[in-house]
Structure 1
Amino acid sequence: MPSRLSADVLVIGTGAAGLTLALSLPRHLNIYLICKGKLGSGSTAWAQGGVAGVLDQVDSVDDHVSDTLTAGGGLCEPKAVRHTVERSTAAIQWLIDQGVPFTHEDGSDVDYHLTREGGHSHRRIIHAADATGRAISETLVERVQQRANIHVLEDHVAVDLITRRKALPGQDDPNRCLGAYVLDKSRDRVITVGARATVLASGGASKVYLFTSNPDGATGDGIAMAWRAGCRVVNMEFNQFHPTCLYHPKAKSFLISEAVRGEGGRLILPDGQRFMPRFDDRGELAPRDVVARAIDHEMKRLGADHLYLDISHKPADFIRNHFPTIYERCLSYGIDMTREPIPVVPAAHYTCGGIRTDVQARTDLDGLYAAGECAYTGLHGANRLASNSLLECIVYAQAAAEHILSEALPEPDADRLPLWDESRVSDSDEKVVISHNWDEIRRFMWDYVGIVRTDKRLERARRRVQLLKQEIQEYYANFRITADLLELRNLAVVAELIIESALSRKESRGLHYTLTYPTQQETAEITVLSPLN
């Protein structure tokens, strides 16, 4: 492969947002997709629940908007919420047209089965059994592989965005994103990819925490790169902890879908007692932040490592038919969910904040778009309503594609862009620094910046992350880059953004709960951080 590539559109990330964007662009455009691992290995494939949308006659756009605003704790941007929900039916129809095998009602080839999850007032979640994300990912991957104009670079990691101001100084033209430097892991070299338009669809940052439901690649790369390139980030303090991850020494990051609670699953203590009604009238169907805090509270009160989710009172055939993936995975660990409760623990699940974008997915930097979990669109506010995330991926990826097509894009500057310079670095003989710092960040983020926070804990985390960032930057400047170093560098950036955002919020709201300021202020304001560069 050459050391320099030229694209009409460069898409960093191959989850639902990245794949949708590539498929929404015409075949005459030359598109490059950057994939950290193998195609289809991102967070989308791990999503179990489904896609929320207005699909039933008893439901309405207004009801879906209202539920989203309520879950968002007063911080959703109503324009963005309505923009998204109004496009939900068309977005889901697009997925159906692509061939996503959503589950039908028993005995019907036309009507789709809709489930209900916490915070929703209606059954409006279309799903493919309990592996919706995998079904969407596999379908879109197959479509992408049929397109000759879409080139997938597997096992490639984006290093940094290329901006005109830094790459081509001295020009009078306004600053613009011109592409990205990308590490080819298999050949251990950095290539320069020039692009007329660049899209960040790189997912969230939940790997910054010790326990997470996300795959290993969720290291906040896009957020960190956009921040370094001069883009604002918003609401980074709002990190959603999924209440129910499988608790087992051999189970890594396996989520027990909220749909289990939606279909009657009960959260219980080790003695079998239900506890959610003591915390919220909605019980197990309360929003995720309420449920996660309740579980965290009971675990600390009892000194327990985990609690339980029980749906064994439902017929065994019902459980196996509705949750085949969860049933088989639990069974592989010796847990029969048709007969016994599932051990569960909260885990970092979703990054509600991210790169500031508008309804066309544009960022602060011309030529740069963001879609999916790395972006802040205004849809989620202080908490994400269940199953709105996959919907957001589709709607805003399509919006970015529409805007890219409407623009008179400049010719790519690939031939003029500087190549990656490794003339002043050497191979590292201290790789233990990377693994140690990686573990340290994730542990202090879990201990000090987790489900329940205090200013004292946040200040401790701030001091540690500032020292680590200096150490990481010194390492980055002196040694050849690796995928692990890039992810560590990005983790440190997003950790600091989360900490600074959390310290700036002098209240408890949504997913941000602090014992220092346990009440909610009357005025709701988003948290906006602006880079100095």
Structure 2
Amino acid sequence: MKDVSYLVIGSGIAGLTFSVKIAEKFPDRKVVIVTKSTEEESNTKYAQGGVAIVLNHEKDSFKKHVDDTLIAGDGLCNKAVVEMVINEGPDRLKELLEWGANFDEDATGNLDLGKEGGHSEFRIVHHKDITGFEIETALLKRVHQLPNITLLPHHFAIDLITNHHIKGIKPDEKTCFGAYVLNQKSGEIFTIKANSTLLASGGIGRVYGHTTNPVIATGDGIAMAYRAQTKISDMEFIQFHPTALYDVRGNQSSFLISEAVRGFGAYLRDKKGHRFMPDYDARAELASRDIVSQSIDNELKKSGDTHVYLDCTHLDMDSFIAHFPNIYKKCLDNHIDIKTDWIPVVPASHYLCGGIEVDMDGKTSITNLFACGECTKTGLHGANRLASNSLLEAMVYAHNIFKYQVKSDSEVLDFDIPNWDDQGTSVAKEHVIIQHNLKELQALMRDYVGIVRSNERLNNAIKRIDLIYDEVDVLYKKSKITTSLCELRNMVNVAHLIINQSLKRKENKGGYFNIDNL
């Protein structure tokens, strides 16, 4: 068993930002970061567009950014949260620069600000089309400079440790005491006892299979919080990115064609060449993601086609390649020359706007458990996230959690926690059961709980997810722990939350659209 002051689950921008701040403040306290893949693998790494921050006060303002966010959120944002996050943007950017992150500059030496869908002004701070990778790299470099941080790659957090695990602890005020963790290389399961635990575990994209998220995005933090009976809400608000690269050979690509490409001037067209977005919204391609995704979905349902196209052929190609070198290269690798060819695109699961409920200090409904980043519902995004607000939110809430913990130290735990008990279990012999249920779950979510939903499909989905849950639960109880089994278990929990909270939503808002609510 490890005793630490701070346990952080996840190594994206949220978890790393908090870890750096708290480790610098308290050099005599241990910080442990648990991450289930390599240390840099996270949703942050794949963020292309950038960070939305108001810097040009001659043309832009905090109020404009607030208004854009509220419009995208379709009436469900917490305005106080929106104002707080946006006002803190410049200070958090300053810290990133101090930690060594580099961002593109214009000819005058000022930051080169981009514009994306839903934004009324140019305010996106970026590093080419690999902004997230640049931020992740800078943060990891700083983490490795701090001797009181231990980073554990290839370690999987199985479950949070709460009152019900420990004899003699009163059950009335639920408290988190750390987590049980699997060393994926050795197979050992050990206990990390922590005075404070932070869930910064990212999103849920793999629940849908076709997603812009990396393979690690299986909703682990949300599922752990759910099993610990933490409050979770707004899970019905799944943001589908309108433009994931479509593999015309029949496979769904998870490569993201950034929102900033449409901000740069690209057009969406059907196979006949018709530019259809002006038919749906006055902002055309610069409408918010929910509107663009639903518009594409409607076009595909009308035509029976598998994809639409993003046309960049009319753009200044030298400037395009300078701004989006990674996208340009990826297209060439797929035999698409954007100088002359349209890019085949299709919406894909991209971002979860709901999640674990937290207050402005990042506190959950469980004592000593905090959450930050995409796994949370802060009130910033409402029913639909405004492009490039997510990295900003992660930085601001990591800072707020840090500030809260500096002034409100968690009580030091002076009791033992029982070891993980897997007596009576055996190594699963039939891994095909896990893979079959995973594919069935992902197909179920795509077909029944996608961009456009209906009560009939949702009710059918509940029946089928219950059957999958029962089979997975039996397998989990009798089998030795593996990462794939735990991920499947977590995705089933997440799918259950999405379906049930979708059925409770009786009004179409933002990213949620049910034909029976018309």
Query: When the two structures are superposed, what TM-score results if normalisation uses the length of structure 2?
Result: 0.97
- Separation in structure 1 between the aligned mates of residue 503 and residue 205 of structure 2, nearest angstrom: 19
**Match for 2:21 among 21, 24, 27?**
24
Tell me the CA shift for residue 177 of structure 1: 0.5
Tell me the CA shift for residue 386 of structure 1: 0.3
- Separation in structure 2 between the aligned mates of residue 455 and residue 96 of structure 1, nearest angstrom: 48
Partner SS, residue 437 of structure 2: helix
**Correspondence for 2:215:** 216
- Separation in structure 2 between the aligned mates of residue 172 and residue 451 of structure 1, nearest angstrom: 40
The one-letter code sitting in structure 1 at the alignment partner of 2:495 is: A
* Residue pair 1:353, 1:375 contacting (<8 A) in 2 also: yes
**Correspondence for 2:104:** 103
The one-letter code sitting in structure 2 at the alignment partner of 1:229 is: A
- Separation in structure 2 between the aligned mates of residue 170 and residue 213 of structure 1, nearest angstrom: 43
- Separation in structure 1 between the aligned mates of residue 491 and residue 123 of structure 2, nearest angstrom: 35
Deviates more, 1:55-64 or 1:284-293: 55-64
**Correspondence for 2:506:** 506
* Residue pair 1:319, 1:338 contacting (<8 A) in 2 also: no
Tell me the CA shift for residue 63 of structure 1: 1.0
- Separation in structure 2 between the aligned mates of residue 408 and residue 96 of structure 1, nearest angstrom: 29
**Correspondence for 1:159:** 158
Partner SS, residue 186 of structure 1: coil
- Separation in structure 1 between the aligned mates of residue 136 and residue 169 of structure 2, nearest angstrom: 43
Partner SS, residue 517 of structure 2: coil
Residues 232-254 of structure 1 deviation map (CA, whole Å, 9 limit, x = unaligned): 11100000000000011477410
**Which runs of structure 2 are paired with 1:311-326 in the superposition (5 Å)?**
311-326=312-327
Partner SS, residue 515 of structure 2: coil
Partner SS, residue 419 of structure 1: coil
Say if 2:225 is the partner of 1:226.
yes
Partner SS, residue 115 of structure 1: coil
- Separation in structure 2 between the aligned mates of residue 302 and residue 172 of structure 1, nearest angstrom: 56
**Correspondence for 2:69:** 68
Residues 187-234 of structure 1 deviation map (CA, whole Å, 9 limit, x = unaligned): 012110000000000001111103100001111111111111111111
Structure 1, unmatched stretches of 5+, are 519-533
Residues 336-370 of structure 1 deviation map (CA, whole Å, 9 limit, x = unaligned): 11222111010000000000000000000010000
Partner SS, residue 87 of structure 1: helix
Deviates more, 1:506-515 or 1:364-373: 506-515
Identity %: 45
- Separation in structure 2 between the aligned mates of residue 391 and residue 454 of structure 1, nearest angstrom: 33
Tell me the CA shift for residue 508 of structure 1: 1.2
Tell me the CA shift for residue 171 of structure 1: 4.2
* Residue pair 2:210, 2:253 contacting (<8 A) in 1 also: no
Tell me the CA shift for residue 473 of structure 1: 1.1
Change in 2 beyond 3 A, CA 1:150/1:428: same
Residues 501-532 of structure 1 deviation map (CA, whole Å, 9 limit, x = unaligned): 100011211111011112xxxxxxxxxxxxxx
**Correspondence for 1:272:** 273
Residues 112-161 of structure 1 deviation map (CA, whole Å, 9 limit, x = unaligned): 00011111111111000111011111111111111111101100111000
- Separation in structure 2 between the aligned mates of residue 182 and residue 108 of structure 1, nearest angstrom: 50
The one-letter code sitting in structure 1 at the alignment partner of 2:240 is: F
The one-letter code sitting in structure 2 at the alignment partner of 1:200 is: L
Deviates more, 1:200-209 or 1:19-28: 19-28
Partner SS, residue 284 of structure 1: helix
**Correspondence for 2:48:** 48
- Separation in structure 2 between the aligned mates of residue 511 and residue 175 of structure 1, nearest angstrom: 33
**Which runs of structure 2 are paired with 1:406-445 in the superposition (5 Å)?**
406-413=407-414, 416-445=416-445
Say if 2:262 is the partner of 1:261.
yes
**Correspondence for 1:341:** 342
**Which runs of structure 2 are paired with 1:369-388 in the superposition (5 Å)?**
369-388=370-389
Tell me the CA shift for residue 332 of structure 1: 1.1
* Residue pair 2:177, 2:194 contacting (<8 A) in 1 also: yes
**Correspondence for 2:181:** 182
The one-letter code sitting in structure 2 at the alignment partner of 1:220 is: G
The one-letter code sitting in structure 2 at the alignment partner of 1:416 is: D
Say if 2:143 is the partner of 1:144.
yes
- Separation in structure 2 between the aligned mates of residue 252 and residue 216 of structure 1, nearest angstrom: 13
Partner SS, residue 146 of structure 2: coil
**Correspondence for 2:284:** 283
- Separation in structure 1 between the aligned mates of residue 221 and residue 287 of structure 2, nearest angstrom: 31
* Aligned-residue RMSD, C-alpha: 1.2
* Residue pair 2:164, 2:171 contacting (<8 A) in 1 also: no
**Correspondence for 2:191:** 192
* Residue pair 2:165, 2:417 contacting (<8 A) in 1 also: no
Tell me the CA shift for residue 316 of structure 1: 1.7
Partner SS, residue 254 of structure 2: coil
- Separation in structure 1 between the aligned mates of residue 118 and residue 368 of structure 2, nearest angstrom: 36
* Residue pair 2:313, 2:342 contacting (<8 A) in 1 also: yes
**Correspondence for 1:481:** 481
Tell me the CA shift for residue 412 of structure 1: 3.4
Structure 2, unmatched stretches of 5+, are none
**Correspondence for 2:7:** 10
- Separation in structure 2 between the aligned mates of residue 279 and residue 469 of structure 1, nearest angstrom: 39
**Correspondence for 1:470:** 470
**Correspondence for 1:238:** 237
Tell me the CA shift for residue 495 of structure 1: 0.2
**Correspondence for 2:446:** 446
Tell me the CA shift for residue 318 of structure 1: 1.0
Partner SS, residue 516 of structure 1: helix
* Residue pair 1:7, 1:32 contacting (<8 A) in 2 also: yes
- Separation in structure 1 between the aligned mates of residue 135 and residue 464 of structure 2, nearest angstrom: 40
* Residue pair 2:357, 2:378 contacting (<8 A) in 1 also: yes
- Separation in structure 2 between the aligned mates of residue 362 and residue 289 of structure 1, nearest angstrom: 29
Change in 2 beyond 3 A, CA 1:293/1:463: same
Tell me the CA shift for residue 166 of structure 1: 2.6
The one-letter code sitting in structure 2 at the alignment partner of 1:199 is: L
The one-letter code sitting in structure 1 at the alignment partner of 2:212 is: S
* Residue pair 2:244, 2:253 contacting (<8 A) in 1 also: no
- Separation in structure 1 between the aligned mates of residue 487 and residue 168 of structure 2, nearest angstrom: 28
- Separation in structure 2 between the aligned mates of residue 280 and residue 254 of structure 1, nearest angstrom: 26
- Separation in structure 1 between the aligned mates of residue 170 and residue 274 of structure 2, nearest angstrom: 68
Tell me the CA shift for residue 173 of structure 1: 8.2
Say if 2:489 is the partner of 1:515.
no
Residues 10-47 of structure 1 deviation map (CA, whole Å, 9 limit, x = unaligned): 00000000010101112222000011100111110100
- Separation in structure 2 between the aligned mates of residue 141 and residue 211 of structure 1, nearest angstrom: 29
Partner SS, residue 360 of structure 2: coil
The one-letter code sitting in structure 2 at the alignment partner of 1:167 is: I
- Separation in structure 1 between the aligned mates of residue 282 and residue 305 of structure 2, nearest angstrom: 24
- Separation in structure 2 between the aligned mates of residue 252 and residue 221 of structure 1, nearest angstrom: 23
The one-letter code sitting in structure 1 at the alignment partner of 2:115 is: R
Tell me the CA shift for residue 172 of structure 1: 7.6
